[in-house]
Every structure is written in C-alpha cells, then in structure tokens.
Amino acid sequence: MHDDSALVEARIRRFVRERLHPAVYAVTEPLQLGAWLVPGEPVPFAEAVAQRFEPFAVGTAWGRAWSTLWVHVTGVVPRVDEGRRAELIFDLGFSDAEPGFQAEGTVYRADGSIVKAVEPRNAYVPLEGAPGDPIDLYLEAAANPDLADGFRDFRPTPRGEWETAGEDLLYTFRQADIGILDLTVWELLQDVSVLHGLLTELPPTSPRRAEILRALERMIDATDPDDVAGTAADARAVLGEVMARPASASAHRLHAVGHAHIDSAWLWPVRETQRKVARTFSNVLSLQQEDPDVAFAASSAQQYAWMKRFQPELYERMRAAIADGRFVPAGGMWVESDTNMPGGEALARQFVRGKRFFLEEFGVEPLDVWLPDSFGYSAALPQIARAAGSRWMLTQKMSWNETNVMPHHTFLWEGIDGSRIFTHFPPVDTYNARLSAEEVARAERQYAEKGAANTSLVPFGYGDGGGGPNREMVAAARRLRSLEGSATVTLSTPARFFEAAEAEYPSPPVWSGEMYLEFHRGTYTSQARTKRGNRRSEHALREAEFWATAAALRGAPYPYDELDAAWETVLLQQFHDILPGSSIGWVHREAERRYAEVLASAERIIAEALALVAGSGDAELVADAGPYAQEGGTAMGIAVVQEPTAAASITQTPAGFVLENEHLTVTIDRAGLVTSLVARATGRNAIAAGERGNLLQLHRDTPTRWDAWDIDEHYRRHVTDVTQVESIDVVPHPSAAIVCVVRELGGTRITQTLSLAPQARALDIETTVDWHERQKLLKLAFPLDVHTDRATSEIQFGHVHRPTHANTSWDAARFETVAHRWLHVGEPGFGVAIANDSTYGHDVARASRSGGGTVTVARLSLLRAPLFPDPEADQGEHTFRVSVRPDATIADAVREGYRLNLPARRMSGAGPVAPLLSVSSDAVVVEAVKAAEDRSDDVIVRLYEAHGGRAAARLTTAFGFEAVSETDLLEREVDRSAVRAVDGTDVDLELRAFQLVTLRFRAPRLEVAGG
C-alpha cells in the first residue's frame, strides 16, 4: 500500500479549516448596538447604564489602552430548528494571542446580573428567552493591551501605566451577531479535533494511527462539502468505531480539574483582576449549566472576597455551586503568594485569612495548597501548611527549571522541622492545559512514577489572565475518558485526585528542603520599594498587634477591623507577581501607595496603644516589641532609657578612619571601604587580608528572557567595582562613630553612612542610592576571612544551609538565593552575620586566597533596573540598612535580624512596664502576640525554635489565664507537643528544631500592670 498519509493529513486540515469551522454556525444575523465610552476608570453597572448611548457599528475602531466601552445590545430571540441553538457571538477585535492578555468583555442582563464573559476562544453567550422575546443586554468591553505580545520579545512599553499608555485605538469591533449553532456539526468538529490530535501523537508505524487516519479520510468522503450540516450525522457515524475503542488497562490516568490561574495582578492592575475574576467565574457557572459534571477549582480567598463586594449576585450563584461541590475553593490561602520572601508570620496569615474566609463564607476548608505558579518554594512551607491543617500540595512551576529536572511527580515534601506534606507536580507541565492530545501524551510520557503509581492531575482552562475552561475542553475530556492510544481523562476535583493518588502510592519518595526554582532569580531584587514596603509592613503589624494586645489587657478595644484590613493589603501584595517585582509599573506604584497606608494605620495603632500602656508622664522610656532586649531595654516590655556610659570613638589617619567601641575596631580606608573589622575579644579580622568590605559592585544585567524575573549566570562576567569617592567625612555625633561616603556613578548618586554605636557588636551601614542606571545590577560585597562549605540563610521560622561550592549541577544552578533578615557564614569557633532591613537577594561563593585556603564572599543584591514589564523599574531613591557582626554565632545572627528590623522606640510615659511575655531561652522566639481570630479576647502567642536544635524554655506571662492550649494556625486546639507543664503564669516548653507552636491563652487577665 502506497504511503499517502501526508496528503491525507493535509486534506484533513483543509477540510476542518474550510468546511467544518464555517459550518458550525448555520446562520448569523446582526444585533443593534449603542455605545458609551467610559471617560476614565471603570464604573459600576448601574452608573454605566444610566448614560447616553450613541449609535455604534461593527467595524468601528475602539479601545485606548485600559479604557472601557459599554455597548448596549438589542435584538429579538429567533426561532430555531431542532438540533440547533441560538446564541450571541462577539468579536471585540481578538487576535491570535492567548485569552487573558488582550480585549475581553462581560455581558450583563438589564437587571445588572452577569450572563457570561466574552473572550478569545470563548466568544459566545447563551441566548435566554423564548422566540420573539426582546434581547436587551449590556457588554462591558475592556481594552486591555497585549503587553506580552506572545512573549516573543521583552521590549519596554509605556502601556503599563494609564498616564503613559497613549491614545491609540488598539482594537476594531468586528462582530455582534445572533448565531444559530448547528450542534451536530459542532460535535463532529470535536470528534475530528480529538482524533486528529491523537493521530499526531502516535508513532508513524502504529496500526492505531493508520486506523484513525483512514477513518478521518472516510469521514471527509462521507461529508458533502455543499451540505456539511446535512451530512454531519453520517460523518460522525463513520468515526463511531474508532471513537469507541477503549484505552488500554495500563494507560496513564489523568484527573482533569477545571481551573483558571488568575494572577491577582501582573500585566494588568488589581482593578482589572477584579473584573477578570468576574468574567472567569461567570464563564464557569455558564459552562456548568450546560454540563453539571464539570468541577472548577479556584484558589485565592481574595478573589472570592472581591466578588462578594463587587458582584454580589454572581457571588450567590458561586455559593450555590460550592454547596453542590462543583465550584471548589482551593489552596486555602488569601492569594497564591510568593513563598520566598514573605516573613514567617505573613506566610502563616495567608492560610489563617484564606481558610477563615472559606470556612466562614461556605463552611469549606481546602486541604490542598494550590501554588502552581510561584517562583520556588520555601523549605518552611511544609510545616506552615501542615500547621494550617492542610494535607496536600500542588505546584507546577518547577518544570521551568533551567538546569535540572525534578526527579519526582508525586512525593512527600519535607520541611526544615521534619514536617511532610503529600505533594504533586503534574507531568503535563502546564497549569493552563486545553486537554489537547499533545498535553495528554506529554503527561503520560513524562510521569516519573511509572511502575509504582499511574495517576496525575491536569489543571485545564485558560489562565494567567483568566478565562477558565470552555466547552471544547470539556468535549475533549468526554472523548478521552477511554480512547485507545491515549491516557484516560476523568473530570475530577483536587480532593478526588489526591485521595486516589495517596491510596495508589502509600510510600512515595521524599524531597527534603527547599524547592529552588532554577529560574526567575531576579525576583528576589526587582522593585526594591515594593520589597521594602513588605518588610516594613510585616514588622509594623507585629508591633501593632503586640501593643494592641497589651492595651486590650488593660481594657482598651482591640482594633480587629483595622488590623484585618491592613493584613489583607499586605497579603494581597505578597502575590507572586507583586512582591517579586514582575508586574507593570501601575501595580508597583499602587503597591507603594497602599504600603504607606498600612504603615500609617499601624503607626496610629502603636501610638494609641503605647500611650495607654505606658501612661502619661515625662519619663524617658524605650518600648521594645521584639523578642530580644535592645538599647538597655526589656524585650517585649517598656524600660527606662539607659544612655551608654562610654561613647564610640573615631580617629582619622592618613589611610582613613578607625572606629572603636568596647567590642569592635573598624578600619575604613579613604575610599570608604572596610579594610578590617575586628572583634576585640578575639583579635580576629573578619575581612580577608588584602580585601575590602562594603564594596559596591555594578554588573551588566541583560537576561536572555524575562527581564524583571531573571538574573542570568552570565551577569558575573561583567563587573565594575564602585570605588570612586566624591567626598568622605566624619559625621559629628554625641556617642556614635560615623563616617559618611558619597559616590557618583554616572547619573546615580550613592551616599553611605558607616556607624558604630556605643556597646554595639556590629557595624551598621546605611546606603542611600538615587538610582538612574538601566539594565544594571548593584551588589554590596563583603570578602570574609572564613573557610566554609555552606552559608546559612534565614527563612520563615528558621534557616537553611546552602553550599558555597558548585560541585553538582544543582549547586551551580543555585547562584542567587533568598535570605530574610540575616545571612551567616562560619567555621568552627568564628562566624560572621550580615543582617539587612529590606534585601532578599544574596549570593555567597568561595574564592581562593593568597597563601592558601579560601575566602567567603557574601554579597547582597541591592538594586536592578530591568526594562520589562516596567521600563521605570527602581528608578529614584532607595535606602538600605545592613549590619555586619564578626565573631557571631547563628544565635547572634537571629538577634541582629530582629534588631535591624524591629528597632526599639523612644517615648515618654509614666514609667517602665514589665514584659508582657518573657522567655528563658534565646532559642525560643516569640514571633506574634495577638488577639484571637474569633474575637473572644483570648490571647494568641506564636513562637518557634530559631537555632536549629532542641530547646527547653519557660514562657512567663504578665497576665493570668484560665487555661493554655496548643492550637493549629487557625487557633483550633490540637494535641500537646511542646507544652510540658503549666504553673500559674509559667508555661514550660520543649521544642524540636525549628518547631512552630501556637499557644492560646483563654480568659487572660492582667495581673501586673507596671514595672
């Protein structure tokens, strides 16, 4: 038999393109249109429909970037024959680009309720009413610009801000018709699409491939090109036999879960996400009316909360679908957060706020952690998730690794404290699947657990910019339920998948430690103001809750609502395209404004609470909400200010400056660089011989792709040491020794103050940069005289060790890493801690030293200047604070991190106030003190073991209580694991390494009101 398969395939493709697609709609007729252009930001439905609508015609150009056009749609419901259905069809000017990255719209009934969205590849709207009834609908069309442009390049664009987007009209309104859908032709098209897709995935020598090819050829022969509709049923019958052949018993099993990953902000502002959510959720509810078996999983309580506020009618329909189990809250977090940079308490609050919302609104608690797209996963997350009551985790992003392939698809993920969570990494390698044959075959081919298990999950539906599943995807799932040559596909839910996967694979392998994404390393540094706002807000809210709790114990009302609102802002802005700095400029400008509001709110709460707790008076006091005493004060209490007995000194020499106090001697040369940093107790210099610390280094930063996201390894080949000095001077101060250095770098001005305070054990460096570089990376380097094969970085509720060498491909790929408040490098008997107040990106590497041995070079990534998606990213002024402490242990590093981020407050009051809490061990750190979430006035104390070993401690409260219990993060009582005894106001604890413990003190009453 001659092989003419290539010709047959070409015939199939042309038949589908030229015959089937045009025949899907038997008839179309135009609607009548009127339009009103919103003069600025979007307005609610009621305001829009009250405007004057002018006549509007198909073919009209419309859509300045980010604008909104309301279109009034009228007509008459037609009569249709059996086997056909009338629906509306719109084309807003759609391109071939992905849905969610271009124009999209929402169709409303005249009463303001949403019918469905209008989007590329899902542009129909069901037509309601009987034949002859009037059509009276409103279309809200959003002219969102396609900033992605298919991600073919990453050119700077001014369209990421309303003010710079320009007045060009981006779209042409191409269609607004009543279409008569021929159901048989549509079903035939779905048959052909699935079979042809499967054919292309089968081997050329496969009998099944040949069988499908010839069946499709016969199908074309059975179709009259002049009467596709009249012969479509016969054509379907030809395909019946090949469609009926079942999958093999050993076929891979796919659980298909309807999904729409909706970025809470990214290449669009938050306000547009609110509309994207409404469009997507209305699409889903409409689809479920057509097919009740479709389940849809949606994460992010924030997105549900937006619907409750902005679309209450849609929200009530969602509530009914949730009660039916068809609309599934997933993830249990407030948003799909970044997990690298949020602090421990903030990451815990993602679950507390998210699960609380789902439980209060729907009586549903998601048991999965749903984070398909976050940029790597902290080693602290398993414990936090388990402490929140979660059982399972799903992620997809690790398939983006540049260098190494994750060895598992289903596994137990073990965190730093030993907690494990059952985790799945879908082998389909996308969270936006369309259930194409290519995707289904890829999932089966790549599944790593073959022979031990055979089940995976595929999230299907248009995502990132929303859209969700459409009817074509559901049709594919139906046909792939059991089809020879394919994996099987079952419409499912996250819980059904995880229960099946656990039962099938009771002893999966273990992955221990962080899941480091070998990609998007620049997200630890991009948009420094957003990152600083996050860090400052997290610590301000800690203080606000602590002092508000102290005030509440004295009878003041606890500011629940204000704190809830502030936390919700912070949690929203930890979304994985906001905090990482990978959004358009609009998003980051708004984030900075909202952080300022959070800080103002927190400061007001702190001031009011401290005024009550300290009382009125003229005593000079220091209030410290941190876990370690500062400035001679009292941890978690208020003390009388104790001025230092001896000032730090500064001496000028021909070579530079010498700063001294009782603990340190610091030498600074005339270039403002630290040539020695000596702990006087040991006499050992932390700076390597012949090297200089506080060295600013400027790198070329031109990633291959994904500008704001990536720092590529090749940046290290291009470096300039910034050593030129415009001025260097001593800054007069009554007690501290301070040197100020000013540098000019092109259009950038850098001012550094190096300060040694009395009795300080660390050198503080404040760097203010008026930054005007482009595509550059600024790092701050310290070459340390320490020989070590690992660096220790703080993460949430603990720390991780990472190699400083590049022995393996995994080590080499980890060339930029995250640290929270501190980094530590050490050898037996000596270490150095570097703390920061707003920096996350770091790199630590080894370098050879003259005379043998190695030097450890620790660097902080201060600033970047990517051009996409925000061409103005990071331009302007920034301030960073860093401290360097020689002769430091891990315990010292923990202290330094809190000192720099939770400085004590000077104030006036009546006198000292005893600590609200005290802990006998430095290893046990109190991270949060707050009122209970249920507003019962119980006091919640969250603490953790910070040094990485077993710790026994006595927690003593300044208040009495009826009982104390251990709880999960949602403050539900759990079995005791840390509490050993309770005696009066003393609670004896024993914690394992990095253990996170939440204590609930019931019916607290203040017993000690002052010093």
Active-site positions?
373
For residues 235 and 602, give the distance between their C-alpha atoms in angstroms, rounded to a whole number.
Answer: 69
**What string of H, E and C letters represents the secondary structure of 740-806?**
EEEEEECCEEEEEEEEECCCCCCEEEEEEEEECCCCEEEEEEEEECCCCCEEEEEECCEEEEEECCC
Q: What is the 8-class DSSP label of residue 1005?
A: E
What counts of helices (H) and strands (E) characterise the chain? 19, 55
**Burial class of residue 457 (count of CB atoms within 10 Å of its CB; 0-12, 13-18, 19+):** buried
Q: Judge contact between 216 and 8, C-beta under 8 A.
A: yes
Identify the CA nearest to 953 among candidates 984, 916, 915, 981: 981
Which residues are registered as beta bridge partners of 832?
825, 886
Q: Which residues have C-beta within 8 Å of that of residue 13, sequence separation ≥ 6? A: 196
For residues 42 and 44, give the distance between their C-alpha atoms in angstroms, rounded to a whole number.
Answer: 7
Q: Which helix (H) or strand (E) holds 269?
A: none
Identify the CA nearest to 263 among candidates 30, 734, 727, 579: 579
User: Which three-class secondary structure state does DSSP give residue 635?
Assistant: coil
- The beta-carbon contacts of 802-810 under 8 Å, at least 24 apart in sequence, are 802/844, 804/844, 804/845, 804/846, 804/856, 805/846, 809/403, 809/404, 810/403, 810/404
For residues 87 and 118, give the distance between their C-alpha atoms in angstroms, rounded to a whole number.
Answer: 12
Q: Which residues have C-beta within 8 Å of that of residue 991, sequence separation ≥ 6? A: 923, 924, 944, 945, 950, 951, 952, 953, 978, 997
**Burial class of residue 120 (count of CB atoms within 10 Å of its CB; 0-12, 13-18, 19+):** buried
Q: Does a cis peptide bond (omega within 30 degrees of 0) precede residue 869?
A: yes
**Burial class of residue 14 (count of CB atoms within 10 Å of its CB; 0-12, 13-18, 19+):** exposed
Lookup: tokens for 391:
């059982």
Lookup: tokens for 527:
């948009």
Alpha-carbon separation of residue 665 from 115, 248, 391, 648, 654 (angstroms): 72, 75, 52, 10, 17
For residues 615 and 309, give the distance between their C-alpha atoms in angstroms, rounded to a whole number.
Answer: 40
**Burial class of residue 632 (count of CB atoms within 10 Å of its CB; 0-12, 13-18, 19+):** middle
Q: Which helix (H) or strand (E) holds 994?
A: none
**Burial class of residue 865 (count of CB atoms within 10 Å of its CB; 0-12, 13-18, 19+):** buried
Q: Judge contact between 835 and 760, C-beta under 8 A.
A: no
Residue with tokens 């500008």: 707
Angle, CA 142 vertex, CA 431 and CA 301 arms, to 5°: 45
Alpha-carbon separation of residue 362 from 237, 553, 568, 776 (angstroms): 46, 33, 19, 48
- Return the sign of the alpha-carbon dihedral for residues 593, 598, 603, 605: positive
**What string of H, E and C letters represents the secondary structure of 305-356?**
HHHHHHCHHHHHHHHHHHHCCCEEECCCCCCCECCCCCCHHHHHHHHHHHHH
For residues 458 and 741, give the distance between their C-alpha atoms in angstroms, rounded to a whole number.
Answer: 56
**Burial class of residue 690 (count of CB atoms within 10 Å of its CB; 0-12, 13-18, 19+):** exposed
Q: Which residues have C-beta within 8 Å of that of residue 59, sequence separation ≥ 6? A: 172, 173, 174
